[in-house]
């Protein structure tokens, strides 16, 4: 028995097969596929003051596809901490083992406002004037497991207490601070501090759903943003733990 198929239906496909033609199929790396890492410099002048706009391309034309979930913005900060006293009354026996932490709770909160440009034109709806609050809320619901493994990105207090390298900031001993402030005579006393901040792109809410971005298909994408100097935080590291750790390391 032979089934007759009308000519109008000969080229029809099942919905499953039709969808497969539009899907990106996973593949095994047979050695012919590779990835590369490239650093993209900002288009705006660097170094820059905190209140200046930073303009940078998010993709490079040398790459056909950019992995958004594995890309990040890196900042090298040099700033001054201001103090109204020199810790003169602090017991010298405890200065070296007592620390304060200065940095960011979440690195993405560093960006105060941003806007995106696609092929030189502003993307409608991409302007965010309160990116710090947006990032704070977004990172509040993020599980701790995602915050423990990235260096210079998040500062969980339990990691600050342990002086873990994942923290986004610096630990400064009271002795280190008082030694720098000692020769100064005018209040406020200033101490220069530098540290590294790394912002994963998908930590910004607008990029949270991105994975791969086909540069050659969609074209150049740029971001312009401003830094929020009020996003920095500080706290005293648990003195019981820090003193115990100090004397354990430096005992005879």
Taking residues 187-195, what's their average pLDDT?
Answer: 91
Name the phi and psi angles at 76, rounded to 5.
-110, 110
Token pair 């993307």: residue: 123
Instruction: Tell me which of 6-15, 45-54, 130-139 is least confident.
Output: 6-15
Instruction: Tell me if 96 sits within 8 A of 243, measured CB to CB.
Output: no
In this structure, are residues 168 and 104 in contact, taking their beta carbons and an 8 Å threshold? yes
Ordered by start, the domain boundaries in the chain are 39-250
In the prediction, which pLDDT does 215 show?
66
**Per-residue pLDDT reduced to its tens digit, 37-78:** 677 788 887 777 777 888 888 877 776 677 777 788 888 888
The predicted-structure confidence for 73-112, as pLDDT tens digits, reads as follows 888 888 899 999 998 888 887 888 889 999 898 888 999 9
Percent of the chain with pLDDT over 90: 14
Average predicted confidence (pLDDT) for the chain: 79
Most confident residue range from 33-37, 151-155, 228-232: 228-232
**Confidence check: pLDDT of 203 > 90:** no
pLDDT at 183 over 90: yes
What's the whole-model pTM score? 0.72
Q: What is the mean predicted confidence (pLDDT) over 128-144?
A: 85
Residue 44 tokens, joined: 């705006």
């Amino acid at each position: 028995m032979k089934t007759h198929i009308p000519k109008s239906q000969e080229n029809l496909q099942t919905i499953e097969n039709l969808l497969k033609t539009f899907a990106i199929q996973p593949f095994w790396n047979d050695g012919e596929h590779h990835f590369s890492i490239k650093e993209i410099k900002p288009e705006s002048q660097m170094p820059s003051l905190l209140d200046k706009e930073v303009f940078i391309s998010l993709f490079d034309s040398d790459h056909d596809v950019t992995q958004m979930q594995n890309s990040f913005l890196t900042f090298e900060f040099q700033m001054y901490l201001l103090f109204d006293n020199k810790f003169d009354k602090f017991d010298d026996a405890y200065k070296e083992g007592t620390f304060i932490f200065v940095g960011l709770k979440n690195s993405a909160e560093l960006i105060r406002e941003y806007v995106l440009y696609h092929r030189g034109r502003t993307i409608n709806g991409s302007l965010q004037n309160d990116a710090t609050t947006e990032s704070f809320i977004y990172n509040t619901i993020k599980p701790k497991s995602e915050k423990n493994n990235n260096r210079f990105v998040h500062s969980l207090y339990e990691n600050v207490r342990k002086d873990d390298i994942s923290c986004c900031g610096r630990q400064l001993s009271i002795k280190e601070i008082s030694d720098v402030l000692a020769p100064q005579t005018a209040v406020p006393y200033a101490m220069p501090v530098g540290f590294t901040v790394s912002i994963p792109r998908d930590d910004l809410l607008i990029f949270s759903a991105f994975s791969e971005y086909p540069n050659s298909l969609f074209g150049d994408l740029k971001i312009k943003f401003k830094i929020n100097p009020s996003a920095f935080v500080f706290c005293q590291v648990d003195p019981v733990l820090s003193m115990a750790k100090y004397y354990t390391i430096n005992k005879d």
